[in-house]
């Protein structure tokens, strides 16, 4: 059976994480995110045509061979019951501002089953195919399936936290075998996703995209009792869980689309982003100047993060009390917060914890397909790899190198040569094998540097990635050696669960250890043989099997997908060399 999972949001005002996956006879064979294929970041409301085309090709089938299309929204509830749910809002929080009312109306207009069926009809008709059977899967159920069915756990407590699903913002599940049952839920407007977006915008970062910056900035802040009082007016710990003040969502929105005016009455004047981007004659970024961040906003970030962690801890503890299962699976956009995930992993009642790396909305396409095909699912092994995207052979790579008039060398020992360059403090683009899923670079499409050098972080931030100089990078480390340096309680193959660096090594890796001593490691094993070889070679040359690893892209671009993307990014950034397939290119 061939099941095509599709995630997208109809309408230009919605999110930009369109994706598709193919589950063939119980096995995941392909997954792709549309922005990486179109090369256009943050484009809303896009139907994932290129992602579908890739999945079909990778599965060696035709569109006519699709048996079921799985959609990670229970769109049928937007046909009827959601109108009553939103009407309840209207009376409960009257007077609602016009923006909130408009949002509810657009949800009903764009999320109903007729709209999804029309989109599918249009796509399949264009390809001269009939629309196969369509299954609508609840959004949080899809998230829950995406993490549980990839965890390898026989049974687990499952927690999904994001901005919102159909009604729920946080949901709790029990997974066992091929079954997932909801335990209970927290409904709108109690959204930890909206809460964190509000503070992201307040601190001068781009809402819905800059939440990772807020998390990173939090480490530069400190506990402030007065700020804590302000934050507690917005997010309260209630009844063993949490409660978001509805004024954040439903008050007048004259100053910000992402929080009500009342928010500024509590928190004060928001920070302006104050970013200046400089371009060269060819229109490529040549530099970025960032404005100063006052200590107040660092402390706000610290307290916002602290309260998020408190709320998540309450939720995890409550879930454990209800299920009694000490293995946990996490999903939903809020769980991109690796610092919070690390706090959860360290709890004494947590025996093991798994976070699906494509934990935000793009991963719900995967979950919907896995849920629909659960009866034939091949279960039992924890996934330790997410190399599910396109791959390019040496012939394709060499064609692109010649087309771009580059001087290159083909080598049998590219891993060893790359390690030598990194040991000499060169920054190298690394393009190998299939494209990884999710927002983290995991050794498929990476920019690599020497973590031992104190200069690498500044060079990569300022001359390669064009990012704020305070933002941290992550290390990849041989799995067999990770516990020599880091205090990770659970397996960490995906850079999504932070942990502390052992005290004696905090000064050894200045370019990957954050100011608070945390790291978000990627443990590497034989699943990526060439990358593991690189780390082994680095140990011989530097004494440590560790490399700085960041995503292969520059500011405002998606992670590179094909050879042309990698070459273009390499040429217009401050990288010193490119290791692409079996080829080495040096500047």
Contact 336, 211 (CB under 8 A): yes
Which class for 522: exposed (0-12), middle (13-18), buried (19 or more C-beta within 10 A)?
A: buried
Tell me the β-bridge partners of 355: 330
Q: How far is CA 218 from the centre of its chain?
A: 19
- The residues spanned by each domain of the chain are 2-150+361-376, 192-355, 394-586
Strands (DSSP E) found in 343-449: 352-355, 409-410, 428-431, 445-449
pLDDT of residue 13: 57
CATH 3.40.50.150, domain 192-355, yes or no: no
The mean per-residue pLDDT over the stretch 537-548 comes to 97
pLDDT score for 176 = 97
- Portion of the chain with pLDDT greater than 90, in percent: 87
Instruction: Give pLDDT, residue 93.
Output: 81
pLDDT tens profile 403-438: 999 999 999 999 999 999 999 999 999 999 999 999
Determine the pLDDT at residue 14: 55
SS3 297: helix
Q: Please list the alpha-helical segments (H only) found in 268-372.
A: 295-323, 338-345, 363-372
**In which residue are the tokens 């516990």 written?**
483
Summarize pLDDT for 6-26 with one digit per residue, the tens: 999 987 555 579 999 999 999
Secondary structure in 3-state letters for 67-93: CEEEECCCHHHHCCHHHHHHHHHHHHC
The 8-class DSSP code of residue 481 comes to G
Residue 44 has pLDDT above 80, yes or no: no
Reported as a pLDDT band with limits 50, 70 and 90, residue 153 is very high
> Mean pLDDT of all residues in the chain?
94
Render pLDDT for 225-252 as a digit per residue (tens, 0 to 9). Answer: 999 999 999 999 988 999 999 999 888 8
pLDDT in tens, 79-129: 989 999 999 888 888 777 888 888 899 999 999 999 999 999 999 999 999
The pLDDT of 566-587, averaged and rounded, is: 97
What is the predicted pLDDT for the residue at 469?
92
CB atoms within 10 A of CB 565: 21
Asked if 192-355 and 394-586 have one fold, the answer is: no
462 class by beta-carbon count within 10 Å (0-12 exposed, 13-18 middle, 19+ buried): middle
What's 394-586's CATH class? alpha beta
Is residue 72 within 8 Å of 367, Cβ to Cβ? yes
Put simply, whether the predicted model's pTM sits higher than 0.85 gets the answer yes
Region 356-361: mean pLDDT is 95
Q: What topology does CATH give the domain 2-150+361-376? A: Nucleotidyltransferase; domain 5 (3.30.420)
């Amino acid at each position: 059976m061939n099941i095509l999972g599709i995630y997208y949001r109809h309408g230009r005002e919605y999110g930009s994480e369109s994706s598709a996956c193919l589950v063939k006879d119980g096995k995941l064979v392909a997954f792709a995110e549309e922005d990486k294929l179109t090369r256009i970041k943050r484009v809303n409301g896009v139907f994932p045509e290129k992602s579908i085309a890739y999945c079909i090709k990778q599965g060696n089938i035709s569109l006519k061979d699709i048996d079921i299309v799985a959609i990670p929204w229970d769109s049928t509830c937007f046909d009827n019951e959601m109108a009553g749910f939103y009407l309840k809002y209207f009376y409960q929080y009257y007077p609602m501002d016009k923006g909130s009312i408009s949002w509810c109306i657009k949800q009903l207009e764009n999320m109903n089953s007729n709209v999804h069926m029309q989109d599918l009809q249009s796509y399949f008709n264009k390809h001269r195919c009939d629309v196969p059977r369509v299954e609508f899967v609840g959004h949080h159920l899809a998230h829950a399936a995406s993490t549980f069915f990839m965890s390898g756990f026989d049974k687990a407590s499952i927690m999904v936290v994001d901005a919102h699903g159909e009604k729920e913002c946080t949901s709790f599940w029990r997974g066992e075998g091929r079954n997932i049952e909801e335990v209970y839920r927290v409904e709108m407007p109690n959204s930890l996703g909206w809460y964190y977006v509000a503070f992201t915008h307040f601190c001068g970062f781009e809402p819905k995209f800059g939440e990772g910056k807020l998390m990173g900035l939090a480490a530069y802040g400190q506990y402030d009792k007065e700020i804590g009082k302000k934050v507690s007016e917005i997010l309260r710990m209630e009844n063993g869980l949490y409660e978001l003040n509805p004024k954040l969502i439903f008050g007048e929105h004259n100053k910000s689309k992402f929080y009500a005016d009342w928010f500024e009455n509590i928190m004060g004047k928001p920070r302006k982003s104050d970013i200046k981007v400089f371009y060269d004659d060819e229109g490529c970024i040549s530099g970025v100047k960032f404005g100063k961040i006052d200590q107040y906003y660092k402390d706000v970030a610290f307290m916002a993060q602290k309260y998020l962690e408190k709320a998540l801890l309450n939720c995890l503890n409550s879930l454990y009390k209800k299920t009694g299962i000490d293995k946990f699976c996490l999903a939903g956009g809020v769980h991109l917060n690796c610092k919070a995930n690390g706090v959860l992993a360290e709890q004494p009642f947590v025996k093991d914890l798994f976070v699906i790396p494509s934990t935000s909305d793009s991963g719900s396409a995967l979950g919907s397909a896995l849920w629909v095909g659960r009866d034939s699912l091949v279960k039992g092994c924890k996934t330790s790899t997410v190399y599910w995207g396109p791959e390019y052979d040496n012939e394709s790579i060499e064609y692109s190198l010649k087309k771009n008039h580059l001087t290159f060398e083909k080598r049998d020992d590219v891993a060893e040569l790359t390690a030598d360059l990194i040991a000499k403090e060169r920054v190298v683009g690394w393009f190998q094998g299939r494209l990884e899923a999710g927002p983290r670079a995991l050794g498929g499409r990476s920019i690599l540097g020497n973590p031992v050098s104190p200069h690498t972080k500044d060079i990569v931030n300022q001359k390669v990635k064009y990012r704020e100089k305070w933002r941290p990078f992550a290390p990849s480390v041989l799995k067999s050696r990770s516990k020599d340096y880091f205090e990770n309680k659970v397996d960490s193959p995906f850079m999504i669960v932070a942990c502390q660096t052992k005290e004696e090594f905090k000064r050894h890796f200045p370019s990957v250890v954050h100011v608070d001593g945390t790291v978000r490691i990627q443990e590497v094993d034989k699943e990526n043989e060439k990358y593991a070889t690189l780390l082994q070679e680095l140990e011989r040359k530097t004494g440590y099997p560790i490399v700085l690893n960041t995503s292969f892209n520059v500011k405002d671009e998606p992670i590179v997908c094909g050879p042309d993307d990698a070459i273009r990014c390499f040429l217009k950034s401050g990288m010193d060399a490119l290791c692409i397939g079996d080829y080495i290119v040096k500047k």
